[in-house]
Amino acid sequence: MDHSASRAADPYAFEVAHTRLAWTARLLAFGFTGSVALNLVLGGAVGTLVPLKTVEPMLIRIEQTSNRAVPVDPASLVRVLPITKDAAGFDLLMESFVLRYLRLLLEVDPVGHQDRLTEANRFSDTDFWKRFLKEKYPEMKDAMKAGTNRSLAIESVSRISERSGVYRYLVAFEQVDEREGNITERKQNHAYVAVTSRPYVARES
């Protein structure tokens, strides 16, 4: 379109209008660019926050006394939930527990032996514990009376199956018996251990 007539009649008005249109175009371009950038940032933020809506395993749940129909001891409000296989580090935690349990159960040390058995009993099935006291413990008592220290050197631990929340592990280890600083017996052995995780109530402190 020919704007020569308008420019000749009032050259300054034409330049001002042109400048205004140019700045309006620039502002629209900046606004559009900023809107696109803001949408990208908000989209990334929403994408980051979406996983918070998923259910994550928690090990501890604190229950309020007002939520209980029956009054309870206020010192027993913390319920420790069982760890699940969806939790990070589940396999490592279970393997560590299996190794600790075997050491509690099989190592012999006259000084800390009774404390270890007390802890092992807390984690043991009732029928298994009765069988252990009947079949294995007499030999361990004789070893302690003879002044024997028994230690386990773990060589490997492997999970071999899982069914209904019960995990079975195969542990290979070397059993070393010492008496008065001298090794009296060294033998290779293995054990099958079945473990599961269960909730229990602990004191709030």
Q: Per residue of the chain (205 residues), give pLDDT as tens.
A: 555 665 566 666 666 666 777 778 788 888 888 888 888 888 777 666 665 555 555 565 555 555 545 445 555 556 666 666 666 677 888 888 899 999 999 898 888 888 888 888 988 888 999 999 898 888 888 888 888 888 999 898 999 988 888 889 999 999 998 988 888 889 999 999 998 877 655 555 5
Closest CA to 202 of 82, 77, 81, 84: 77
Q: CA triplet 86, 88, 91: central angle to 5 degrees?
A: 80
| Beta carbons of 179 and 170 less than 8 angstroms apart | no
Query: What pairing do the DSSP bridges indicate for beta strands 78-80 and 200-202?
Result: antiparallel
Model's pTM, two decimal places?
0.56
Which 8-state DSSP code applies to residue 63?
Answer: P
